[in-house]
Amino acid sequence: EVQLVESGGGLVQPGRSLRLSCVTSGYTFGDYGVSWVRQAPGKGLEWIGFIRNKRYGGTTEYAASVKDRVSISRDDSTSVAYVQMNSLRKEDTAVYYCTRVYGSGTFMPDYWGQGTLVTVSS
Amino acid sequence: QSALTQPASVSGSPGQSITISCTGTSSDVGKYNIVTWYQQHPGKAPKLMIYEVNRRPSGLSNRFSGSKSGNTASLTISGLQADDEADYYCSSFADSPTFVVFGGGTKLTVL
């Protein structure tokens, strides 16, 4: 069974940083890309970034809205993905989902984690 | 404002069929056959329902179907059931540097 479990969310002050983790199991992590998607309370889904698998260079792409403040990484030896978020703002308050991406160049999620809530507030 | 336009809400009675539209542009829906649909129940993670416009994940009911014409994709749910009541989001691959766009979501109410 494919599983993705996010952790690392919580209450954080504006301007601070946070790193979220995504522990995966049930599939060969190294064969798939990972996208991170967030959802502000009561709002829709927003894609924030993607990391390719090593076969495609392990390179990253980011949404323009977060490009200068977000960094996605992966550790294929432990099947874990990360998203580092810097200079957090109140508008970054959201549930952050880690997702497995299907296909080699789609960026599109097939499996989703349960999400972790990040609240940015003083 | 979301990049893809969906109706805010749709409704139908059990057993009926409904269709949710998702309108984009020639840089996303109109250009790529990488359109996905997700179902999200309250407090839960989204679930993939349709990918690549009209393909269903293994094991998913054939009551769910997808299509596309020009810049508009559609999700049709036939034989509505109470458990179909949820939010539905479309998404599309898009030209760089956007890459992925979502619709604003459609709340389906089963009357």
- Quickly count: other Cβ atoms within 10 Å of residue A114's Cβ: 14
* pLDDT tens, position by position, B32-81: 999 999 999 999 999 999 999 999 999 999 999 999 999 999 999 999 99
CA distance A64 to chain B (A): 7
User: Do the Cβ atoms of B47 and B65 come closer than 8 Å?
Assistant: no
Residues of B within 8 A of A108 (CB-CB) are 34, 36, 51, 91, 93, 100
Lowest average pLDDT, out of A37-46, B1-10, B44-53, B88-97, goes to B1-10
| Percent of chain B at pLDDT exceeding 90 | 95
Ordered DSSP codes for B58-106? TT--TTEEEEEETTEEEEEE-S--GGG-EEEEEEEE-STTT-EEEB--E
pLDDT one digit per residue (tens) for chain A, 122 residues? 999 999 999 999 999 999 999 999 999 999 999 999 999 999 999 999 999 999 999 999 999 999 999 999 999 999 999 999 999 999 999 999 999 998 877 889 999 999 999 999 99
Distance CA A70, CA A49 (A): 8
What are the backbone angles phi and psi of residue B59, rounded to the nearest 5°?
90, -10
Strands annotated E in chain A: 3-7, 10-12, 18-25, 33-39, 45-51, 60-62, 70-75, 80-85, 94-101, 109-112, 116-120
C-beta atoms of B2 and A44 within 8 A = yes
CA gyration radius, chain A = 13
The DSSP letter of residue A55 is: G
| Percent of chain A at pLDDT exceeding 90 | 94
B104 in contact with chain A, both atoms CB, cutoff 8 A: yes
Distance CA B26, CA B63 (A): 29
On the question of pLDDT at B3 being above 80, the answer is yes
Distances (CA, A) of B6 to A49, A85, A104, B2, B95: 23, 30, 27, 9, 20
Q: Which of B2, B34, B105 sits opposite A106 (nearest CB)?
A: B34
C-beta atoms of A35 and B100 within 8 A = yes
Amino acid, res. B40 = Q
On the question of pLDDT at B1 being above 90, the answer is no
pLDDT, mean over chain A: 96
Write down the pLDDT at residue B2: 63
Residues of A within 8 A of B22 (CB-CB) are none
